[in-house]
Amino acid sequence: MADSSSLPTQEIVQGLLESPARIAPKYFYDAAGSLLFEEITRLPEYYPTRTERQIMVAHGVDIAHRLGSGATVIELGAGSCEKARELCQLIAPAHFVAVDISSEFLHDAVVQLRDALPDVDVRALAADLTADFTLPQDLPRQRRLVFYPGSSIGNFDPAQALELLSRMRGLLDDDGALLIGVDLVKEVAVLEAAYDDAAGVTAAFNLNVLNHVNQLIASDFEPSQWCHCAFFNVAESRIEMHLEASVENVVRWPGGQRRFARGERIHTENSYKYQAQDFVRLLNQAGLARTEVWSDDRSWFALFLARP
């Protein structure tokens, strides 16, 4: 299994030298970051996980009826594989491949999933889904279902999201499908609370990226000199997360350094919120013309089933 430490450090250094500085959200996920994300999913303010689950519970039979059994499921950004477990119990696939960048956490999740699903061929693939990754050669091409829950697609701007959706389409034959969870536009106070919870777990998650970056590029970020900052950017329809320097500081790494003024920010995440019809348009542009959508009572979140 590939280790996340082998990922290109060049990308991180380049982002740190930009103005404003940025760190890609995929670097949240070392083992500690993955555990913190699991904690976030249980917070009262963090509605996406439980809302997506409610949709699956309410409409699972309907979705399963459309997909049938014996498919090959490929989950991108599988994390704890909790949603995969529920989906696989519904649709009884023949093969399941969990793809995630957080290799150690993925490995543990897949070991547990194999115990829970003894009749499914369960495999782990530690890979960065934003780069080219190779699925196992012997994985059937027929009746594939790409599963991308959690509104992780929201981490990409619409142009990047279109490119990623097109690559997902490329994993499918004409009999394949994509099941994707997408967070929808809603009241700003609800959105902002979900990314800045009272218990400070999202703040700890955001700050942990500095520990991970220290490990990856041997830098000397001092997390206590940084604060979590999250807000909804209405014009871009996205939550933005940043880390803000609470004091002037200099961060050094082998071969480089950057001075941050007090109040200067590092942009760590975007989470785009969609109108359902805009996301359907994006799916269509990616070559996924036949779409169905299920939502919750408040229309806070949507699950799209899209086919070529």
Ligand X SMILES: C[S@@+](CC[C@H](N)C(=O)[O-])C[C@H]1O[C@@H](n2cnc3c(N)ncnc32)[C@H](O)[C@@H]1O
Could you give phi then psi for residue 274, rounded to 5 degrees?
Answer: -105, 155
What residues numbered 68-107 form the site for ligand X, per CB under 6 A? 77-79, 83, 100-102
Q: Give the Å distances, CA to CA, from 13 to 21, 108, 258.
A: 10, 30, 10
CB of 34 to ligand X, least distance (A): 6
Of 54, 130, 160, 214, the one binding ligand X by CB under 6 A: 130
Q: Is 152 in the site for ligand X (CB under 6 A)?
A: yes
Site string for ligand X, 234-253 (x = CB under 6 A): --------------------
Query: Looking at beta carbons only, is 49 or 219 nearer to ligand X?
Result: 49
Q: Is 271 in the site for ligand X (CB under 6 A)?
A: no
What residues numbered 25-44 form the site for ligand X, per CB under 6 A? 26, 29, 34, 37, 41
Q: Are 183 and 273 in contact (CB under 8 A)?
A: yes
Distance CA 122, CA 114 (A): 6
User: Of 225, 206, 217, 253, which is closest to residue 29 (Cα–Cα)?
Assistant: 206
| Strands 144-148 and 177-183, bridge-based pairing | parallel
CB of 252 to ligand X, least distance (A): 27
Distance CA 51, CA 63 (A): 16
3-state secondary structure of 167: helix
Of 149, 154, 158, 176, the one binding ligand X by CB under 6 A: 149
CB of 174 to ligand X, least distance (A): 26
**Residue numbers at the binding site for ligand X (CB under 6 A):** 26, 29, 34, 37, 41, 49, 77-79, 83, 100-102, 128-130, 149-150, 152
